[in-house]
Amino acid sequence: MLNKIKWYINFDCQIFTIMTLVLNFMYIIVGEVDDINLFGYIQLTLQHFTLSTVITILFFLFKKIIAMREWYSYLTTWLIVLVSVYGIGSLLFDWFDINSWWSLITLAITIFIYVVIFLLNYIENIKDSKNINEKLNEMRERNSE
């Protein structure tokens, strides 16, 4: 149980960190960073955290469907992400107008964040599996001596 909680907290932190990095980069590009004061920045950070936490909670609630690894599992994953981003980002926090081009840009950013998280996890797992295999080899060599 503790492992599962840790996994979800870690997942929430990953979404929050990558989302904050990407969106801050976007604000710099768009030139909005000069308009944001400290209060605005804290508010924005809390909004990012709310979004990442809502996505994490929805992943937790739909974990059984997601774990099935069928086509509808992937559909559920994307529905959770998109409903959260568009529902919370546009309707609740008013980050963008849902009927504008920003809607498509948001979709592109969402896909980008998803791919970055996915790749980071995969790269970390490749690195860890190499370490584990080295340790297993060492164990076998020790046992055969």
**Contacts to other proteins by CB under 8 A:** 3-4, 6-7, 10, 69, 118, 121-122, 125-126, 128-129, 131-133, 135-136, 139, 143
| Rounded least distance, CB 55 to other proteins, Å | 16
Nearer to other proteins, 105 or 136 (CB): 136
| Rounded least distance, CB 3 to other proteins, Å | 5
Residue identified by tokens 């929805």 is 58
DSSP state of 71: H
Go through the chain and tell me how many residues it has. 145
Nearer to other proteins, 7 or 78 (CB): 7
Round to whole Å and give the CA distance between 48 and 12: 11
CB atoms within 10 A of CB 83: 13
| Rounded least distance, CB 129 to other proteins, Å | 5
110 within 8 A of 104, measured Cβ to Cβ: no
